[in-house]
């Protein structure tokens, strides 16, 4: 592809170069930056809409503040692509979200311009306040600026930080990037409140000029006066002002003159915490993104001219789609089934149920803690709530799972999407820990689907289970292509299944790594090592009869899971040890994710890095048998 004409962008090696440009040149630079962002993501895929929405804001922030001495913190940071281009990473943008390439989020080890890593929402204000305290206690850091979206600011953690920062009264900046769109359309009273603040007002350019021309008074007085001119009414205090912030806005986030004037005035005169309310358009400047329902939040590679995404045709439906359809099927038969999502109705598949039963699906916004306790309350009322949350985000509601669900033994059904390693989003989004953090809780039942048909049965199992909380996990992406049942059949709690019988090695799989286990067994069988393949289905309660049988009739037992140490394999070992089954001649290996975070790559590359490929499983079996050095097993890859 021919290089775009970018005379202003070519002059920028880092943010310091922006401060040598005139305001008109900065505006031209923003146009070039937007086009380069579009072209980059068309080749790599990634978070396009959110990045396009903050192009002018990114340029203005780096032009006004002295980054990296001043700390610019992007909440979630999926909007950081323009920031990366401007901060010395332009020549590496083609590696975005790929193995050994740039992260799709801010990352401290990647650049000094990324002072705080992110990928989960609503952390930026807390981190900015931390930097602010550091500055005031003599650390070598300047101002802290948190850029947070209208979706992220709905989370409880953001309110906690606003409350604390307002009480501290220290100079810091919060930029509220209000685009009326999170991953899904924002929900809740905060969105309604922000829409009221966005009522029609006078020319924002005139407002910005008013800021500059104002007499030398305190910033609060200027901001209140500006609001009077902008809103045409009395300067009633906003919620943010009641919390101790000076409120400025709303400002057109795509007007470079307004942004520069406002930021310069705030930077010059601020004494305490300031919140600048900026209105932007997600996907700004690229028609297909602006017209999309989700504003091209996350896209595959796409054609620049048409915006059509380049996606391979799946061989089987995705696990998310299978879950959404199975849940809707169960809901059609049981009017007490409800679903809860934390700002991810499309991502979790509950939107399928929502289209058919809209009054029984609840999107609570980016508020996983609330989602869990909300579901617990519905369970206590007699409803059957399915709380559908990605594994990595469910971590945010762990105290609520312990205290509000497990302790009270309430039948909340946790549908855990994106379990295991997820590819391009990397370590921040990996579903590594849910088995370990759920299976150690009293009253909890923990399942994992070995294929998409098993997922259908697990949805039915969860719907039928009223004895307490139950969770089932499944991966991102398409299934194995197995035939799906017309209707899910509840499984017997704590019972696995045997798929193949052999005598030498027992391969005990928990969850969606079953295809790799099968490949490993085929390779071993081809070399005379007979294998039993068992699908555990349950990490809690364990199928102890199955485990005892496998331990008693095989020379080696290998457990395999797509989770961290301390999960399924640890529970199996605990049982074997306490039952004295390790005292006989049984070789046991537990194959889990390693005790480290794994950077982004394709899922296959990530599992190879984790030594969980079929080849690694086969080699572990040979090692357990003590025959890996025999002549009939050469040192080449087994598969």
- pLDDT digits 0-9 by tens, 377-391: 999 999 999 999 999
pLDDT value at 612 more than 80:
yes
Per-residue pLDDT averaged across 535-558, rounded?
Answer: 97
- Residues 385 and 387: their CA atoms lie apart, in Å, by 6
Identify the pLDDT of residue 226. Answer: 52
pLDDT classification of 212: cutoffs 50, 70, 90: very low
For range 566-577, the mean pLDDT: 97
Residue 216 pLDDT exceeds 60: no
pLDDT above 60 for 97? yes
Backbone CA torsion sign across 88, 90, 94, 97:
positive
DSSP string, 559-582: EEESS-TTSHHHHHHHHHHHTTTT
Mean pLDDT of 540-558: 97
The mean pLDDT of the chain is 89
pLDDT tier at 181, thresholds 50, 70, 90:
low
585's tokens: 């001649």
CATH class of residue range 497-625: alpha beta
The pTM (predicted TM-score) of the whole model is 0.87
- The 10s digit of each residue's pLDDT in 509-539 is 999 999 999 999 999 999 899 999 999 999 9
R_g of the chain computed on alpha carbons: 27
Report the CATH superfamily, name and number, of domain 9-291.
Answer: Thiamin diphosphate (ThDP)-binding fold, Pyr/PP domains (3.40.50.970)
Provide the pLDDT for residue 207: 39
Distance CA 4, CA 171 (A): 40
Query: What residues are labeled active site?
Result: 282, 368, 396
> Mapping DSSP to helix (H, G, I), strand (E, B) and coil, where does residue 130 land?
helix
pLDDT higher than threshold 70 for residue 93: yes
357-373 average pLDDT score? 96
The residue among 328 and 232 whose pLDDT is bigger is 328
The answer, yes or no, to whether residue 222 has pLDDT greater than 60, is: no
For the stretch 134-143, contacts whose Cβ atoms lie closer than 8 Å and that sit 24 or more positions apart, written own/partner, are 136/170, 140/69, 141/69, 141/70, 141/71, 142/65, 142/66, 142/69, 142/70, 142/71, 143/65, 143/66, 143/70, 143/71, 143/171, 143/172, 143/173, 143/267
pLDDT at residue number 296: 61
Read off the pLDDT band of 148 (50, 70, 90). very high
Asked if 368 contacts 393 with a C-beta cutoff of 8 angstroms, the reply is yes
Q: What is the mean pLDDT of residues 105-113?
A: 95
Is pLDDT of 328 > 70?
A: yes
Residue 291, pLDDT score: 77
Contact between residue 466 and residue 411 where contact means Cβ atoms under 8 Å apart: yes
497-625: same fold as 319-473? yes
Short-list 519, 511, 569, 554, CA closest to 535:
511
- Enumerate the domain spans of the chain: 9-291, 319-473, 497-625
Q: How confident is the model at residue 636 (pLDDT cuts 50, 70, 90)?
A: very low
Q: Is the pLDDT of residue 69 over 70?
A: yes
Q: Is the pLDDT of residue 229 over 90?
A: no
pLDDT given for residue 638 in this prediction? 54
Residue 571 has pLDDT above 90, yes or no: yes
Task: Using pLDDT thresholds of 50, 70 and 90, give the confidence band for residue 143.
Answer: very high
Q: Dump pLDDT digits (tens) for 482-494.
A: 999 999 999 999 9
Does the domain spanning 319-473 belong to CATH 3.40.50.970? yes
CA nearest to 371, candidates 129, 155, 603, 133: 155
Task: Characterise 73 by phi-psi region: left (phi > 0), alpha (psi -120 to 50), beta (else).
Answer: beta
Give the per-residue pLDDT at 186: 61
Tokens 């209000």 sit on residue: 178
Residue 213 has pLDDT above 60, yes or no: no
């Amino acid at each position: 592809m021919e290089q775009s004409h970018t005379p202003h962008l070519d002059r920028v090696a880092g943010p310091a170069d922006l401060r040598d440009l005139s305001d008109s040149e900065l505006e031209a630079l923003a146009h070039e930056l937007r086009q380069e962002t579009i072209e980059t993501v068309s080749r790599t895929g990634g978070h396009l809409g959110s990045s396009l929405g903050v192009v002018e804001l990114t340029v203005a922030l780096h032009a006004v503040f002295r980054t990296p001495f001043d700390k610019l913190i992007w909440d979630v940071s999926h909007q950081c692509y323009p920031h990366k281009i401007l901060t010395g990473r332009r020549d590496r943008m083609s590696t975005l979200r790929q193995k050994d390439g740039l992260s799709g989020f801010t990352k401290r080890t990647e650049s000094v311009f990324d002072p705080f890593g992110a990928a989960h929402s609503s952390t930026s204000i807390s981190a900015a306040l931390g930097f602010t305290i550091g500055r005031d206690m003599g650390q070598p850091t300047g101002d802290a600026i948190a850029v947070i979206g209208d979706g992220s600011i709905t989370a409880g953690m953001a309110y906690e930080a606003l409350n604390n920062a307002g009480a501290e009264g220290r100079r810091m900046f919060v930029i509220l990037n209000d685009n009326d769109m999170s991953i899904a359309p924002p929900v809740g009273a905060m969105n309604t409140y922000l829409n009221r603040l966005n009522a029609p007002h006078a020319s924002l350019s005139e407002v910005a000029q008013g800021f500059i021309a104002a007499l030398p008074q305190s910033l609060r007085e200027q901001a209140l006066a500006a609001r009077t001119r902008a809103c045409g009414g009395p300067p009633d205090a906003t919620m943010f002002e009641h919390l101790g912030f000076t409120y400025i806005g709303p400002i057109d986030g795509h007007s470079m003159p307004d942004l520069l004037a406002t930021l310069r005035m705030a930077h010059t005169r601020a004494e305490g915490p300031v919140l600048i309310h900026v209105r932007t358009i997600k996907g700004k400047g690229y028609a297909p993104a602006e017209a999309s329902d989700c504003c091209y939040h996350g896209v595959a590679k796409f054609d620049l001219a048409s915006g059509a995404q380049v996606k391979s045709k799946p061989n089987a439906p995705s696990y998310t789609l299978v879950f959404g359809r199975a849940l809707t099927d169960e809901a059609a038969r049981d009017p007490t089934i409800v679903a809860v999502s934390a700002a991810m109705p499309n991502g979790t598949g509950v939107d399928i149920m929502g289209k058919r039963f809209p009054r029984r699906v609840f999107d609570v916004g980016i508020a996983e803690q609330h989602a869990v306790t909300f579901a617990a309350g519905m369970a206590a009322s007699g409803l059957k709530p399915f709380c559908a949350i990605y594994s990595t985000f469910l971590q945010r509601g762990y105290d609520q799972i312990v205290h509000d669900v497990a302790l009270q033994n309430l039948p909340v059904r946790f549908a855990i999407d994106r379990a295991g390693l997820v590819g391009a989003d990397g370590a921040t989004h990996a579903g590594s820990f849910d088995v370990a953090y759920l299976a150690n809780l009293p009253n909890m039942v923990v399942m994992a689907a070995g294929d998409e048909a098993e997922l259908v049965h697990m949805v039915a199992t969860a719907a039928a289970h009223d004895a307490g909380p139950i969770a089932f996990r499944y991966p991102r992406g398409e299934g194995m292509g197995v035939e799906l049942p017309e209707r899910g059949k509840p499984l017997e709690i704590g019972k696995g299944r045997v798929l193949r019988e052999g005598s030498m090695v027992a391969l005990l799989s928990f969850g969606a790594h079953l295809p790799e286990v099968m490949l490993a067994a085929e390779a071993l069988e081809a070399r005379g090592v007979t294998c039993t393949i068992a699908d555990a289905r349950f990490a809690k309660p364990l199928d102890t009869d199955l485990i005892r049988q496998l331990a008693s009739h095989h020379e080696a037992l290998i457990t395999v899971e797509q989770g961290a140490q301390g999960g399924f394999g640890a529970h199996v070992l605990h049982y074997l040890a306490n039952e004295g089954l390790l005292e006989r001649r049984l070789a046991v290996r537990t194959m889990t994710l390693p005790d480290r975070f794994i950077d982004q790559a394709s899922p296959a590359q990530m599992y190879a890095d984790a030594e969980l490929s079929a080849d690694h499983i086969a080699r572990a079996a040979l090692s357990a048998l003590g025959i890996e050095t025999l002549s009939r097993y050469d040192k080449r890859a087994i598969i």
